[in-house]
Structure 1
Amino acid sequence: MSQASIEIVREFFIIHNFFVLKKEDILFVKNAELTETEGIDRFVLSGSEVSKVLKSAVVKPVCWHTMKLTPVVLSRFPEIFEFLKGRYALESKKFFQGEDFKKILVISSLPASEKLQKESIKIMKEEGVDHIITFPSIIAHLIEKIDARYVYLSSVNEIFRVLKFYKFFAEKEQKLPF
């Protein structure tokens, strides 16, 4: 469990106006501003879709940045799905008090081959995962939302702000009309 990675995911949801409660390595998130969610059928969500699609969710960051979640990895490490079962499932139901909520995994990436991607997604769906979000998507969207001229109380956001201020992140390329 990487506290830094969990904090990045936590700050991502906070900057998107979610209330966030951290319990061990699991996040309970609730978007109080969202009254109606957009119906998106995609399993893999982008950072920009999260605030439109999720009202309430239990989020499990899988902080294995050097590992793609292949079918073999998913079968060898059942602890990835522990947040969906037993006491964690009971805590989720208790926290959301009967309200519907999504079950989200935050992962480094899916396998490169389309066949393995489909197999991994099938396994995750069978285990009860509703959506995944990748760390690159979360980090990119968090950096995009950070204002380089604003001072943040969060050390994670402040680090991103300083890096952005000193141009460690490339600006979006301008599109020329020709």
Structure 2
Amino acid sequence: MADTNTKIVREFLEANNFSVITNRKFQLQKAEPAGRYSIDLMAINMQHTEPAAPLPMRLQADHIRHMPNIIVDVKGWHSGRLSPSVVSSSPELFNFVSPNALEFARGVFHGLSFKSILVISEASQTEVLWHKTEDMLRERGVDHVLEFPTILNYLITHVEVNLNYVESETLQLLRLLKRYGLVKGLQLELPFRAKASDPEHEE
């Protein structure tokens, strides 16, 4: 069963007209080389449109409609931001773009082109740190990143309070939070105080 983070990403993709495959993962008794089970989601854009300009690495919600076939790895590391030090110390970030994983994806997409998306909590707040992070990701084969606030903002904006989302626990929860005023605006302002992050300690 997919975890909550993966379910949220799947809802976002399906809301943007993607046909999504959840890559089944199994508990192995010993470590397996990075391969097919390193990919969380694979998706085909059913209404793909070409962008007017090359897409940035750091995607916004309106960019997703320009993505064709995609492979997605979801890292729900919500306690911090993605910084160069995190990238350096987390080789598992790149398992989904390993040669074995890419070979598996090419088989699923029957040789058609596809892009890789790494879903992260948030990017570094400072421009210098982000550019360094971006370079490190590109060097290892990651095409794009998508942040959870971008995904959640989109879903909350588009969820309708008068609809009953019986088929989706995720959308139903967001609907109820929106219905009772517990989510305000596009910045996920919650009625309780969250601990502020310290950009000086991102590294």
Do the structures match in fold with TM over 0.5? yes
- Cα distance in 2 for partners of 1:169, 1:63 equals 21
Identity %: 29
Match of residue 161 from structure 2: 148
- 1:5-154 map, 5 Å: 5-23=5-23, 24=25, 26-34=40-48, 36-38=49-51, 39-51=53-65, 53-152=66-165, 153-154=167-168
1:58-104 deviations in whole A, cap 9, x for unaligned? 01111101121111111111001100014322221111111111100
Shift of 1:123: 0.4
Helix, strand or coil: the match of 2:135? helix
**Does the 8 A contact of 2:55 with 2:63 survive in 1?**
no
Q: 2:17 is matched by which residue type in structure 1?
A: N
Shift of 1:171: 4.2
Match of residue 163 from structure 1: 177
CA-based RMSD of the aligned residues comes to 1.5
Helix, strand or coil: the match of 1:49? helix
Aligned residues: 169
Write out the 4+ residue segments of structure 1 that deviate beyond 4 Å after TM superposition.
none
Q: 1:58 is matched by which residue type in structure 2?
A: I
Helix, strand or coil: the match of 1:48? helix
Q: 1:80 is matched by which residue type in structure 2?
A: L
TM-score, with structure 2 as normaliser: 0.79
- Cα distance in 2 for partners of 1:18, 1:151 equals 22
1:123-173 deviations in whole A, cap 9, x for unaligned? 00111111111000000001111111111111101111111111212247x
Q: Can you give the 5+ residue segments of structure 1 that lack an aligned partner in the other structure?
A: 173-178
**Does the 8 A contact of 1:48 with 1:141 survive in 2?**
no
Q: Can you give the 5+ residue segments of structure 2 that lack an aligned partner in the other structure?
A: 26-38, 187-203
Helix, strand or coil: the match of 1:69? coil
- Cα distance in 1 for partners of 2:90, 2:64 equals 27
- Cα distance in 2 for partners of 1:164, 1:40 equals 34
TM-score, with structure 1 as normaliser: 0.89
